[in-house]
Structure 1
Amino acid sequence: MKKITFAIIVLLALSTSPVIAETKLVDDIAAYQVALNEVQPGDTILLKNGEWADFEILFEALGTADKPIRLAAQTPGKVFITGQSNLRLAGEYLEVSGLVFKNGYTPTSSVIAFRRDEQHVANNSRVTATVIDGFNNPERYENESWVMLYGKHNRFDHNHLVGKSTRGVTLAVRLNSAASQQNHHRIDHNYFGPRPILGSNGGETLRIGTSHYSLTESNTVVENNYFDRCDGELEIISNKAGGNKFIGNVFYQSRGTLTMRHGNDTLVEKNVFLGNGADHTGGIRVINKRQTVRNNYLQDLKGYRFGGALVVMNGVPNSKINRYHQVEDSVIENNTFVNSDHIQIAAGSDFERTAVPVRTGFKNNLIYVESEQDPFTIYDDVSGITWENNLINTAVDQRLADGFVVRQINPAAAANGLQYPKGEDGSTQTYGVSRDLTVLDKSQTGVDWYPKLTQKPRFDHGATHQVRPGLDTLATAARNASDGDVLLLSEGEYQISRIIHLDKAITVQAQAPGNVTIRYERAALFELGEGGSLKLDGVRISGSAAPDSAGNSVVRTQRRSMLNNYELVVQNSEVVDLNVNHSFNFLTVAKGTFAQRIRLANSRFSNVTGAILGLDHEYEDFGIYNAEYVTIDNVVFDTIDGDVVDYYRGGTDESTFGPHFTMTQSTLNKVGTGKRNKSASSVLLHGVQVAHLQDNKVIESAPITINHTVGEPVTKLIDNRFVATPKTQIRELYSDQIDTAELRGNVYQSGE
C-alpha cells in the first residue's frame, strides 16, 4: 500500500513540474512542419536566416496568456519570405515577428491572415516587427489585401508595410462572423509607407468592417501609426464599423481622408495631418451617428469636396446600409486648422443626399488661413449644427458668424512643432488643440532595421553618359544605363533596329537641341515595362522608317498589366511623320497600366495618322483610368488625324481624385478630322475630374468634347480661340443639372 501511495506521489509531482520552453531552429519547410506538430506553450520556432521561397506558412497552435507560442526570424530582417507565399495564424496566444515578405506575392487573397479558414481564427495573437515590401500580384487590378485581421483581441504592431500597388486594402479588419465581431483589436506603431495612386476604387490603406456589417461594433483601436504618402484613393482610412478609436496617428502628405464611411460611435482624437501643400491632401470626413472629432491638428491640406480638411456629409433619408447615413449627435471640438483650404459642410448634397446634419456641435476650434479666404463651403441647411466659440482670422459665411470670434491670430511654432496663436493668453487657450499634443515621429513606428526611404526625383539623379550617332548606339546605352541616368546624344542621326525596353527611368537628351534625329524600324521606339519611365529633351523623332503596318507607336507600355506607375515627359522636341500607315500613335497604352504623370511641353507634333495620347483602354466603366495627370503646355499639333488626347474614365464611382488634364498656350491645326477617329473630337475628356484649357488656338479641327460623369468636376475653358472649328461640347451625362464648367473669354470665328 505504501509503495502504491509513493508511486502516485511521484506521478503527481512529475505532472505538476514546470515544462521547460524550447527554442527550435528550423532550416526548411519540412523541418518547420515537424516543429509545429511538436510545439508546446512557451516554445519558439525560429526560421533560419535566408530565403524561404514558396512558403505558405500555417501557424496553428494553442498557447496561453503567460506562455505564448512564437514564430520568429533567427535574426530580425534576415528571413525573406519570397515567391508565392503567405502566413495564416489560427489558435490562441500566438506571436510572429521579424519576417520580411518581398519579391513575390500571395497565392490567396491575403499575405497575412489571422485565420486558417472560416471556422478557425486566431485570438489573443500578435504580429509584430514584420515587413511587407512590394509583395504584389503581377495583375494590377487583382483584388488582394496584405493583412486581414479576424478573431478577437489581436494586435498588429511595429510593422512596416510599403509599396502596395494592386487593388485591395493594405490592412483590413473583417467582421463577417460572430467570432470576429466586438473584436477589440489593437493596431499600433505601424509604418504605412508610400502607396502610389491606384487609379480606381479599392486603394484604401486601412479599412475596418464593410458596408454589410457597418452597424456592428468592432471596437478596434488604431493608434500611433504613421501614414506616409498613402495616395491609393480618396479614403486613406475607411471606417465601416462601430465603436472604433483613431488616436495619435500622423498622416504625412497623404492624398485622401480618414473617412467615417459607415458605423457609429467613432472617436478621432489627437491625430496630426500634415499636407505640405500637396494636391488632394485631406483630413477627416464625418458621416453617421455619435461621432467625436476632437483635439486633431490639420495643416497645409489642399484637398476639396470629399477630400477637404474637414468634410461633414449630407446623408440619404432612411438610407440603405451601404449608402450615406445622416450625421447625428456628433461633436467636432478643439481642432486646429492651419492653412487648410477647404472645410465642407453638408457636402454631397444632391437629389439623393438630402438629410442634413442634425444635433451636432462645432465648438472651440481654431482656424487660421494665411490667405484670409473663407475656408467654409456650405452646400445645404446647416441649422442642425451648433456653432459655438470658434476662433478664426477671417470673415465667414453669415450663417456661421455667431459661432466665431474673428481676430488676428499670428501663429508660431511651439516645442511640439505645431502652430499656436502667438502670445496666447487665458482668453484663447480654449481654442484648438492642446499645448501638450504629442506628434508621433516616424522613427517610432515600424522597425529600426528596415529603411524608410525618402522620396527622390524620378529623372536625372544618376550619371550622364555621352552617346554617339550610329546604328543602335542609343539602344545599347539605354540597356546599360541605371535608373535616373541621362543619355546625352551628340549631334547626328540615330538608327534604331530594335525596340528599346525600359525597366528604369532614363532621360534621352540632345546635346544640341534640334540637331539630333532618331529613326526606328520596329512597331515602337520605346516600350515602358515595370519601373520604366522616359524623358525626351531636345530630340527630333521621325516615324518614316517604321514598318508599313497599322498601329505603330513611338512609345508604348508593355502589353500586360503594370504595377509601377510610370512617367512620360517630352520637352523641347519634335515628332514628325507618324504616317507610314493608319492609326500611328505617339503613345499607346495597355489595360492595367497607369501613368502618374504625362507632360508635353515646348514641342511640335506633325503628320500623325493616329492619336497623340491614347488613354482610353479602361473601357468597362469600372471607374478605372490610365493616367492621373496629363499636362500640355506650348505645344503645336499640326495635321493629326486622331485626337490629341482620348482621356477616358468611365463609371460613376466617387473614390478617386483624377483624372486631371491641363492644356495651355498650345495650337491645334487640322486635328481630329481623320475618318478613323472614333471620338470625332480633337480632344476628348470623358469623366475627367479636373480640366483646365486656357490660351489655346484650335484651327480647322474637330470639336473639343468634355463629358461630365461623376462628382463635381472642375472644368475651366478660358480665353481660347477657335477658328473654323465647331463649338466645344460639354455634356452632363448622368445629371439634369446645368454643367458646372467655367467658360470665359472664348472666341469662335469662321476663318482667320
Structure 2
Amino acid sequence: MFYKFYMIALIFVGFQLNTSTQPFTNMAQPKKVYVKNVQEFNAAVKKAVPGDSIVLKNGVWDHADLFVNVKGTKEAPITIKAETNGSVIFTGNSGISLSGSYIIVEGFWFKDGGTDLKSVISFKKNDQEFASNSRVTNCTISYYNPTDLSLTTHWVDLWGKNNRVDHNNFTGKLNHGTTLVVWLKGDEHTENNHQIDHNYFGERPDLGVNGGETIRIGTSTNSMKSSKSIVENNTFEHCNGEIEIISNKSGDNIYRNNLFLESEGTLTLRHGNNALVENNVFLGNNKPKTGGIRVINEGHIIRNNFLVSLAGNGFRGPIVIMNGVPNSPLNRYNQVKNVTIVNNTLINCEAMEFGAGKDEERTLPPMNVLFANNLISNTTGKDILKVVDDIKGIRFEGNIVDSEAQVDANYFTKATIDWTLLKVFPMPTASNSILKDVRKIKESPEFDITNAKRNIYVAGAFNLDNKYYPEAMTMITGPSWKPDIKAPKMAVSSAIIDVEPGTNNIGKAIKNAAPESILKLKSGIYYEDKTSKLTKNITIQGSKDGKTIIKSPETMESPLNYFFRINEGVKFTIENVTLDGENSTPVKYAFVSPEEQMGSKYNLFVNHCKIKNFTNKEGGGSVFKAYVGTKADTISIKNTTIENSYRGLNLSYEKTGLGSYNAEVIILYNSVFKNIEEFAVNYVKTIDPLSSNNPEQLLVDHCVFSKVSNYEKGGIIKTKNIYTVVITNSVFENSYNLKYPVSLSGFSNVIKNCLIYDSGTLKLSGGAKDLNILYKNPKWEDKDTFTPSEKSDLLKKNNNIERIGLLETR
C-alpha cells in the first residue's frame, strides 16, 4: 500500500451551479393563461382543464398562499409555472397546496421568506383532498424560514401516490422540522411510489435537536407500512441538521446513486423494513461527524456503496449496526435481522461499529446479518471495527482489509492491495487476485457501482481497473436555471436580554436568543413546564441577592425530565440561580448532556448557584446526567451548593469496553454537597487508564461533602479508571455508615490536605497517594454555612495551605 490518498471537495461544489433538468413531459396546451396576482390565479384555477398552463407573471409574490385543486390527465397535465424560470419570487407567508391529479409545478423560487405555514409546498389541501401523479420540478426554496426559528415547519410535504419531486434546490433551512417529508397516514398514502430525484439539498446547519432531517419517509407510528418511495440521484451537501440526514421510517424504500458531501450525519434506516441502499457515495473529507449508513430493523440490502474519509464515530460511523430493544415499541429500536451488507468499499474512514448502542434497554444484538465481500482500506492505521456487543449473529465472509490496523482474522483477511488512481480516488487494479477469491452470493450485485457488468466477481464496489466514476459523482442535480443563493443577514437579538419571572419565559428566551446572549433574570420564581435545549452558547445570570428561583409548576401531571440539555458544541453558563426540583412530581435532572452517541464536545459552567431537591429516583435521577456516547470538554461547578437530592453528577453509563468516558475535565471548587442519598460524583472510564493516553481529570478543591452516600457500600466520590484524580483541601463528614468515602487507584490519583470525620477511611490502590489526611471533628461555628470555629483544625496551616474547606470568597 504505497499510494498517498488526497481528498478534494471543490470538484463537487459546482454541482448545483452546472445544473440542467430533464425535458418536461410533452403535453397538449390548449390554452395558456397569464396571471399577475392571487385573485387572477384563483379564477384561472377554477376554469382550468387538462392541458392548460397557468403562467405566473415575473415579479415578487408576497404573502401568496396558492391552492391548486385541479384534475389533469396523464397525456394532458395541468401546469402551474413561472413566466421565466427563477423570476417568480415568493416571499413572506407564501405557499402552494396541491390536490387533484396530474399537476406540474415548475420554475418558482421561494426566497428569504418568513412563512409560518406548516409546509411551503404540500401535496395535500386537507385530509380528504390530496394530489397524486403530480410533480414539483425546477424550483428553489432557499432560506425560507419563519422569524421564530423554534416553529416546526416543512418545505415539502408529500401525500397521495405516484408523485415526483425532482431537479429542485433546497438550501438554508434553519428552523425546526424536516426539509422534505413523505407521509403514510392512511391507506391513500401507502405504497405511494413517490420519486425524489436529481435534487440538490444544500446547507442545513446543525439544529442541535431532533427534527433536523433533510428527508424523512414515514413516522414511527406508520413505520410498518410500505411506502415504496425512491430517493435517487440527489446531492446532499453540508446537510448537518441532525444525525439523520435521511430518516427511513417505512418499508420497501430505495436509496441509490445519491452523493453525500461533507454532511454531518448518516443515511439512517431508523424504522421500517426491506430498504435497498445501493450505489451511493459518501465523501467526508475528514470533516468531523461525517458518517455513512446506520442500520436498524429487518430485511435491508446495503451494497455497492463508496464511503471515503468519513470522520464520524459512534452512531455516525461509516457503517453502524445497532442493538435492539426486546418487544420494542415502534418508536424505539427493533432488532437488526436478516440484513445483507455486501460489496461496499470504505477508504480512510473511522471505525465501523457493530452492536452499537448496547445498554440496559438495547440488549438484542444483530441476528442473521451477512457482512460479505467488502473492501476496506485505511492508511492511518486506525481501528477498522468496534464491537460493542455479541456479534455471533453476524456472518463475516470475504472481507478484505488493506491497513496496518490490527484486525480479527475471523472477520477480515488482511492483504496489500495494488491501487491505481482515478483522479484522486484509489481503484484496485487487475493484479489483485485476492479480490477475486471471494464467493458470489444470492444478494451479490450483477453490476458494480458504475453500472458496469461484473464479468469477474470481486470484493468491493468497483470492478478491477475501473476507469469510470459512479453515477452519484457525475449526475447533474438542481434546477436548470442557476439560483444565486446568498444567506440573508440574520437579525441579531440584543446580547443582553432581560427575562421577567413567569411561566416558561426562560425557555422562550433561549429559543429566541442569538448565540452568545446573556439572559438576565430578576428576583422571583421562574416556572418552567418544558425542557430547554441549548443549541447555542448562552449565559443565564440570576439576581445577586440569591432570590432567582427556577422550578416546575405544581400543576404538572408527569415529571419534567430535565431543566436544561446542553447540546453538542455548546457552552452553557449559569450563575446566581436556585434550581429547585421539588414538586409532587419531582424534576428528574437539572442538567443533561446531549442525546446519546452525540460525541462532539460541550461545556457546562455552574457558578454561585444552589441546586436542590432533585429526589426523583425513577430511572436514576440526578443533578447532572451524561448519556452514553457523549463527552464534555469541561464540567465546572464552583461556589455552589447541591443539597437534598438523590444523586449528584452521574457519568457512569459507559460500559462498552472501548475506552469511553463522558468528560475530559470535571472541576468541583469551593462547593458543598449536602444530604445526597447516593454519590456526589460517579465518573467512569471503561478500560484500564494505563492502556490509553487520554487526559481525563477530576479536580476537587475546597469542597465540603456532608452526609453523602451514607450507607456501607456507598461512595462519595466514585471513580473507575480515571487517569487523573486530585482531591485537595476538602472535608468529608457525617457519612457515618460509609466504609470508604473515596476509593482511588492509579499513580495520578491523589488526595491530600483533607479532613475526614465520621465517614469511614480511604481506600487506595495502584500507586494512589494520600498526604496530610486529618481524621478529626471539623468543629463548625455554623453548621449550615460550614463556617469553622476558631478552634477548628480547618483554619490551621496544613501543607502550607491556609485552610481546608470552603473559602470566604464563596
Alpha-carbon separation, structure 1, partners of 2:590 and 2:727:
28
Contact 2:229 2:252 (8 Å CA) reproduced: yes
Which residue of 1 is the match for residue 414 of structure 2? 406
CA deviation profile, 1:179-204 (whole Å, cap 9, x unmatched): 11111111001111111122222111
Choose the corresponding residue for 1:267, options 276, 280, 288.
276
1:503 equivalenced with 2:491 (yes/no):
yes
Q: Counterparts of 1:59-458 in structure 2 under 5 Å?
A: 59-394=68-403, 400-409=408-417, 413-415=421-423, 417-421=424-428, 424-428=431-435, 430-434=458-462, 435=466, 436-438=468-470, 440-441=472-473, 444-451=476-483
In the TM superposition, what is the alpha-carbon distance from 1:103 to its structure 2 partner? 3.7
Q: Is the alpha carbon distance of 1:194 and 1:443 closer, same or farther for their aligned partners in structure 2, counting shifts above 3 Å? A: farther
Alpha-carbon separation, structure 2, partners of 1:550 and 1:33:
46
Q: 1:333 is matched by which residue type in structure 2?
A: V
Q: 1:219 is matched by which residue type in structure 2?
A: K
Q: Is the alpha carbon distance of 1:403 and 1:657 closer, same or farther for their aligned partners in structure 2, counting shifts above 3 Å? A: closer
1:745 equivalenced with 2:724 (yes/no):
yes
Alpha-carbon separation, structure 1, partners of 2:360 and 2:282:
32
In the TM superposition, what is the alpha-carbon distance from 1:437 to its structure 2 partner? 4.7
Q: 2:728 is matched by which residue type in structure 1?
A: Q
Unaligned runs of 5+ in 1: 1-17, 456-481, 484-501, 506-523, 529-546, 570-577, 584-589, 600-604
RMSD over aligned CA atoms reads 4.8
Alpha-carbon separation, structure 1, partners of 2:166 and 2:349:
31
In the TM superposition, what is the alpha-carbon distance from 1:81 to its structure 2 partner? 1.6
Name the SS for the 1:566 alignment partner.
Answer: coil
Which of the pair is proportionally richer in strand?
1
Name the SS for the 2:292 alignment partner.
Answer: strand
Which residue of 1 is the match for residue 649 of structure 2? 706
Alpha-carbon separation, structure 2, partners of 1:598 and 1:59:
44
Q: 1:256 is matched by which residue type in structure 2?
A: G
In the TM superposition, what is the alpha-carbon distance from 1:40 to its structure 2 partner? 1.5
Name the SS for the 1:111 alignment partner.
Answer: strand
Q: Is the alpha carbon distance of 1:598 and 1:318 closer, same or farther for their aligned partners in structure 2, counting shifts above 3 Å? A: closer
In the TM superposition, what is the alpha-carbon distance from 1:35 to its structure 2 partner? 0.9
TM-score, normalising length from structure 1?
Answer: 0.69
Q: Is the alpha carbon distance of 1:418 and 1:360 closer, same or farther for their aligned partners in structure 2, counting shifts above 3 Å? A: same
Q: Is the alpha carbon distance of 1:677 and 1:700 closer, same or farther for their aligned partners in structure 2, counting shifts above 3 Å? A: closer
Q: 1:93 is matched by which residue type in structure 2?
A: Y
In the TM superposition, what is the alpha-carbon distance from 1:319 to its structure 2 partner? 3.1
In the TM superposition, what is the alpha-carbon distance from 1:363 to its structure 2 partner? 1.0
Which residue of 2 is the match for residue 476 of structure 1? none
Work out the percentage of aligned pairs sharing the same amino acid: 33
Which residue of 2 is the match for residue 628 of structure 1? 568
Alpha-carbon separation, structure 2, partners of 1:527 and 1:700:
24
Name the SS for the 1:428 alignment partner.
Answer: helix
Q: Is the alpha carbon distance of 1:326 and 1:685 closer, same or farther for their aligned partners in structure 2, counting shifts above 3 Å? A: closer
Alpha-carbon separation, structure 2, partners of 1:326 and 1:206:
23
Contact 2:315 2:597 (8 Å CA) reproduced: no
Q: Counterparts of 1:481-560 in structure 2 under 5 Å?
A: 503=491, 526-527=495-496, 560=509
In the TM superposition, what is the alpha-carbon distance from 1:687 to its structure 2 partner? 4.4
Name the SS for the 1:151 alignment partner.
Answer: coil
Name the SS for the 2:161 alignment partner.
Answer: coil
Name the SS for the 2:251 alignment partner.
Answer: coil
Which residue of 1 is the match for residue 701 of structure 2? 723
In the TM superposition, what is the alpha-carbon distance from 1:167 to its structure 2 partner? 2.0
In the TM superposition, what is the alpha-carbon distance from 1:45 to its structure 2 partner? 0.5
Unaligned runs of 5+ in 2: 1-26, 437-457, 525-529, 553-558, 579-588, 615-621, 656-660, 666-695, 730-752, 754-800, 802-810
Q: Is the alpha carbon distance of 1:139 and 1:620 closer, same or farther for their aligned partners in structure 2, counting shifts above 3 Å? A: farther
Name the SS for the 2:410 alignment partner.
Answer: helix
Q: 1:749 is matched by which residue type in structure 2?
A: T
Name the SS for the 2:435 alignment partner.
Answer: coil
Alpha-carbon separation, structure 1, partners of 2:313 and 2:520:
43
Q: Is the alpha carbon distance of 1:596 and 1:31 closer, same or farther for their aligned partners in structure 2, counting shifts above 3 Å? A: same
Alpha-carbon separation, structure 1, partners of 2:430 and 2:137:
44
In the TM superposition, what is the alpha-carbon distance from 1:441 to its structure 2 partner? 4.8
Q: 1:334 is matched by which residue type in structure 2?
A: N
Contact 1:282 1:307 (8 Å CA) reproduced: yes
Contact 2:496 2:517 (8 Å CA) reproduced: no
CA deviation profile, 1:625-679 (whole Å, cap 9, x unmatched): 46532469xxxx9x98679xxxx8867994772673259xxxx9xx8456x5769
Contact 2:595 2:630 (8 Å CA) reproduced: no
Alpha-carbon separation, structure 2, partners of 1:337 and 1:454:
34
In the TM superposition, what is the alpha-carbon distance from 1:377 to its structure 2 partner? 1.4
CA deviation profile, 1:606-640 (whole Å, cap 9, x unmatched): x99599xx9999x95489746532469xxxx9x98
Alpha-carbon separation, structure 2, partners of 1:384 and 1:592:
40
Name the SS for the 1:321 alignment partner.
Answer: coil
Q: Is the alpha carbon distance of 1:594 and 1:195 closer, same or farther for their aligned partners in structure 2, counting shifts above 3 Å? A: farther
Alpha-carbon separation, structure 2, partners of 1:57 and 1:582:
49
Alpha-carbon separation, structure 2, partners of 1:266 and 1:306:
19
Q: Is the alpha carbon distance of 1:174 and 1:642 closer, same or farther for their aligned partners in structure 2, counting shifts above 3 Å? A: closer
Q: 1:715 is matched by which residue type in structure 2?
A: A
Q: Is the alpha carbon distance of 1:345 and 1:113 closer, same or farther for their aligned partners in structure 2, counting shifts above 3 Å? A: same
Q: Is the alpha carbon distance of 1:442 and 1:655 closer, same or farther for their aligned partners in structure 2, counting shifts above 3 Å? A: farther
CA deviation profile, 1:335-359 (whole Å, cap 9, x unmatched): 1112211211111223332332222
Q: Is the alpha carbon distance of 1:358 and 1:595 closer, same or farther for their aligned partners in structure 2, counting shifts above 3 Å? A: closer
Choose the corresponding residue for 1:660, options 597, 601, 608.
601
In the TM superposition, what is the alpha-carbon distance from 1:166 to its structure 2 partner? 2.2
Which residue of 2 is the match for residue 42 of structure 1? 51
Which is worse superposed, 426-435 or 80-89?
A: 426-435
Contact 2:343 2:372 (8 Å CA) reproduced: yes
Alpha-carbon separation, structure 1, partners of 2:593 and 2:223:
23
Alpha-carbon separation, structure 2, partners of 1:137 and 1:629:
24
Q: 2:414 is matched by which residue type in structure 1?
A: V
Q: Is the alpha carbon distance of 1:658 and 1:443 closer, same or farther for their aligned partners in structure 2, counting shifts above 3 Å? A: same
In the TM superposition, what is the alpha-carbon distance from 1:452 to its structure 2 partner? 6.9
CA deviation profile, 1:264-299 (whole Å, cap 9, x unmatched): 111101111112222222110112222111111112
Contact 1:707 1:730 (8 Å CA) reproduced: no
Contact 1:701 1:724 (8 Å CA) reproduced: no
Contact 1:193 1:452 (8 Å CA) reproduced: no
In the TM superposition, what is the alpha-carbon distance from 1:579 to its structure 2 partner? 13
Alpha-carbon separation, structure 1, partners of 2:108 and 2:534:
31
Contact 1:200 1:656 (8 Å CA) reproduced: no
How many pairs are equivalent? 609
In the TM superposition, what is the alpha-carbon distance from 1:227 to its structure 2 partner? 1.1
Contact 1:714 1:741 (8 Å CA) reproduced: no
Which is worse superposed, 179-188 or 648-657?
A: 648-657
Contact 2:218 2:248 (8 Å CA) reproduced: yes
Contact 1:165 1:563 (8 Å CA) reproduced: no
Contact 2:140 2:483 (8 Å CA) reproduced: no
Alpha-carbon separation, structure 2, partners of 1:224 and 1:169:
20
